[in-house]
Amino acid sequence: MLMEEVIIDTSAMLFAVQNKTDVFSLIEEAMPGCQILVSTGIMHELERMAASRTDNRKYAKSVLAMMEKHKIEAVNDQSYADEWIVSESGKRGCSVCTNDMALKERLKAAKIRVLSVSWNGILR
């Protein structure tokens, strides 16, 4: 049996942390034994945010700490995050966790299962 995979994007991770939710735990509870995937492009995006002076700085730092705690490793890819997500989820046949409305529409049009984090910490 193949392990189920879920790609998670920056919007879902930041939204969850802003709402005091651990998105990685949510996914692991909803899909026990699944593998959570993040691209190196997304990792670099989070690292840039964590080093910046923006409002998202502390959230990005929290996300990176949670990724380390949950042992989330990045898939080596340097392409634009949304392009990688659409392409990779199509190739792998896996779900995507995002709160980005434009990305959700692209994924749904490609018949890819989309998960989102709600404001009250529920994965839908």
- Eight-state DSSP code of residue 121: S
Measured CA distances, 32 to 3, 58, 76 (Å): 10, 29, 24
Share of the chain above pLDDT 90, in %: 86
Average per-residue pLDDT for the chain: 93
Share of the chain above pLDDT 70, in %: 98
> Does residue 120 register a pLDDT over 90?
no
pLDDT reported for residue 1: 47
pLDDT reported for residue 2: 62
> Does residue 26 register a pLDDT over 70?
yes
For 97-120, letters b (16+ CB in 10 Å) and e give bbbbeebbebbeeeebebbbbeee
| Tokens found for residue 65 | 């700490």
- The fourth-level CATH superfamily of domain 5-115 is 5'-nuclease (3.40.50.1010)
Q: 3-state class of 71 per DSSP?
A: coil
pLDDT digits (tens, 9 = 90+) for 48-59: 999 999 989 999
For the chain, give every domain's residue range: 5-115
Alpha-carbon distance of 74 to 121, in angstroms, equals 24
